[in-house]
Amino acid sequence: MTERLDVFMARANAAYYATRDPFADFTTSPEITQVFGEVLGLWAAVTWQQCGAPDPVWLVEAGPGRGTLMSDALRAIGRAMPDFAAALRVGLIETSPRLRAVQAQAVSQAQWFDDLASVPDGPLILLANEFLDALPIRQFVRRGDGWAERFVTDGAFTEHPAGPDGPPSADLPDGTIQERCDPAEAFTDDVARRIAAHGGGALFLDYGPEHSTPGDSLQALVAGRPADPLSPPGTADLTAHVDFAALAAAARAAGAAAHGPVPQGLFLARLGLFQRANRLARHLPMQQAAAVMEGARRLGEPDMMGRLFKALAVTRPGAPVPAGFETDPA
Ligand code: SAH
């Protein structure tokens, strides 16, 4: 069987999320410390105020995993901004029935959706952590003065001449790989259109470079270790770097404003990650307190997740700059 890489990746991840506990293979920020979801909940609350406190408003998370982020966010919102808590409706965009059941344990009042298109129109605040990196990518390889596209044939890469929808011509060395994630761009386009039309804000956290760079970023993890991306579908978690520059451009083309990307560490520090961790730790026994501080460090330190991970926000043009995206004075 021969499949285009994105078709293979979609099939592999659908099988993986349907049958496995992904969190046995990798640890995400909300699973490292509750402070992550709390801080994002406060970001959502400030964003809600900045867009005029609409009631009702959809608070939607895409790819919510175990539901930990939303559960922590709702707890922080309930404490800090009860008006927002009363106005919001919780939506979870999740395709895996297995993970929906896990999420229902963590977030009781949610409504589930297969995709953004099925979320009713209206003001929208959207959170997505490590969602876009799971969406299927295509890979093009520079061959001579044209492009080939990568396919998967019986567990190995094969190349076929790229069609007219390949990348624009470019003076790149033979063998250079150029990636593209059409579903991530389509998702961002849809989010941006909704926010431009109805107000709100979106926050994407994921890993990837600040500027678009050529190269092969497809990776597979099994039990926390790198594995062959072409392992049999369902055995490994497949991800690729998120092209933030392409997504910011997609958001602007759809009529919204894009902010960032800024390194996750800077973004979380500006939102008070370390102060909140400190405050939480003060009331905990020593060992748990140490774990909270270590978790905050893992998320924020540049040599851990603070630099590789980035935050990108989408708002209505002319809306205030979202929290954490203030540009430093030159
Ligand atoms: N945000 C979570 C989980 C990240 S794993 C965390 O930070 O812990 C990726 C999540 O996206 C899983 O919940 C997976 O089932 C979901 N997902 C992957 N592809 C999807 C798609 N096309 N549509 C909706 N959800 C998807």
pLDDT value, residue 322: 98
Report whether 297 contacts 319 (CB < 8 A): no
CA of 44 to the centre of ligand 1 (A): 20
Tell me, what's the pLDDT at 18? Answer: 86
Provide the residue type at 255 as one letter.
G
Q: Which atom of ligand 1 is nearest to the CA of 133?
A: 9
Residue of 6, 16, 17 with the most ligand 1 atoms within 8 Å of its CB, for mutation: 17
Q: Whole-model pTM?
A: 0.96
Identify the pLDDT of residue 224: 81
- For 124-134, the pLDDT digits (tens) are 999 999 999 99
Residues 60-110 pLDDT 10s: 999 999 999 999 999 999 999 999 999 999 999 999 999 999 999 999 999
Instruction: State in Å: Cα 106 to ligand 1 middle.
Output: 15
Q: Half-sphere exposure of residue 59, counting CA atoms within 13 Å on the CB side?
A: 28
pLDDT at 328: 59
Burial 18-32 (b: 16+ CB within 10 A, else e): eebebeebeebbbbb
Determine the atom of ligand 1 nearest the C-alpha atom of 183.
Answer: 22
Given this model, what pLDDT does residue 223 score?
80
List, in sequence order, every beta strand (DSSP E) within the chain.
2-4, 57-62, 88-93, 111-113, 124-129, 138-143, 146-153, 156-161, 177-180, 200-207, 219-222, 225-227, 237-239, 257-263, 309-315
Q: Whose CA is nearest to atom 5 of ligand 1?
A: 65
Which pLDDT value is given to residue 22? 67
Q: Is 132 in the pocket of ligand 1 (CB under 6 A)?
A: no
Q: What is the distance between the alpha carbons of residues 67 and 15, in angstroms, rounded to a whole number? A: 20
Angle at which helices 244-253 and 182-198 cross, to 10°: 40
With a cut of 50, which residues of the chain have pLDDT below it?
330
List the beta bridge partners of residue 125.
Answer: 59, 201
